[in-house]
Structure 1
């Protein structure tokens, strides 16, 4: 398990822009989940 963590850490150290990309993807998925939950609650 620690090998995969080391690999990811190394990759992100070599490609710092990917940290921002991953953060943006997480934010997008969070917002999408909230919108889907709200839309699912209003359908009758």
Structure 2
């Protein structure tokens, strides 16, 4: 029951603040890219 009201309040907040929704979307995209970069940097190469 509490999750439903929280989701509803969050949806109402984002509906009235569209720039915040854009900022959250951008942050999610940047975090996804940072995860990929970290995964590539963590691999070890056994070379000559």
Give the TM-score, by structure 2 length: 0.82
* Superposition RMSD in Å: 1.5
Question: Greater helix percent: which structure?
Answer: 1
Which of residues 25, 28, 33 is equivalent to 1:26?
28
Distance 1:32 1:38 in 2: 10
Alpha-carbon offset, residue 19 of structure 1: 1.1
Aligned residue-pair number: 44
Runs of 4+ displaced beyond 3 Å: none
**Offset at 1:43?**
6.7
Structure 1 gaps of 5+ residues are none
Q: Which has the larger radius of gyration?
A: 2
TM-score in terms of structure 1 length: 0.89
